[in-house]
Amino acid sequence: MNNINKSTLLGILLVLVGGVTVLSNLGLIPWQLRHYLFQWENILMLLGIFFFFSQEDKKAGIILFVIGFYFVLDDWFYIDFSFWDFWPVSLVLIGIYILNRKAVTTDDLKSNHQDEKDFIQDTAIFSGGDKVIGTRNFKGGSLTAVFGGSNIDLTTSELSKDSAKLDLFYMFGGSKIRVPKDWNVEVKTTSIFGALTDKRIVKAYNPESPETLVITGVIIFGGAELTN
């Protein structure tokens, strides 16, 4: 979805929310209906719909919509259950997501005749550290941080001719990633109550270096900093 369509969708949502609020303030909406319209769960669901139709934020949209819908189930459909009975399901879903992440194993490297030094695999759980990666053929890897984080220094590395992909998963954690000034970097992360802050000093796209580092992944109640 391009920026014009995003702006159009956001404009429609604001018009609907503002119009309904005005009608409610004027007493033109029955109080029974107002009870269902003005719920914080609906705000999450509306945000989820907006993000879902933004191509790069589909994951965030689905997560927000599911959270909002989950909390409104008992009110809309009179289903008697407690959040505290089912909150461990979120841990199961997160675990499934981590298991489905494609990690580069030593066997994969050997079968493809690749060098382990060209990849990074870092997991920080209630811990952290500093890592300096120096390779002339960096191909990416994965970073995982749960209640922890690491400092990743790639300033002495060079990107692979086939470019590179770095996958992140941060939950109540994060990291600081430093890259060379001449690298082209594309950020495609999904953030839920978190963010990846790009603090690089970027002058312009470097045509002499068409290789690109693509950063993907999910950040939940966490954060990361990208610098050069």
124 with 64, same domain?
no
154 with 212, same domain?
yes
- The answer to the question of residue 181 being in a domain is yes
Amino acid at 174: G
Its pTM stands at 0.62
- The answer to the question of residue 95 being in a domain is no
- pLDDT number for residue 95: 75
Residue found under tokens 């941080």: 145
- pLDDT number for residue 12: 73
111 with 153, same domain?
yes
120 with 187, same domain?
yes
Residue where one domain finishes, among candidates 86, 119, 140: 86
Q: Which domain holds residue 38?
A: 3-86
Please name which of 188, 183, 189 lies closest in space to residue 219, comparing C-alpha atoms. Answer: 189
Structure tokens given for 17: 């929310």
Strands 184-192 and 140-146: unpaired
Task: Kindly write down the DSSP assignment for every residue of 35-91, as one continuous string.
Answer: HHHS-HHHHHHHHHHHHHTSGGGHHHHHHHHHHHHHHHHHHHS-----HHHHTHHHH
The total of other beta-carbon atoms located within 10 Å of residue 50's CB is 19
215 with 113, same domain?
yes
Residue where one domain finishes, among candidates 30, 52, 86: 86
- The answer to the question of residue 98 being in a domain is no
192 with 152, same domain?
yes
Residue where one domain finishes, among candidates 29, 57, 86: 86
* Grouped pLDDT means (10 residues each) for the chain, 228 residues: 57 75 76 68 78 66 78 70 66 72 53 71 84 88 87 89 86 88 85 82 64 86 85
- pLDDT number for residue 3: 45
209 with 119, same domain?
yes
- pLDDT number for residue 23: 78
117 with 207, same domain?
yes
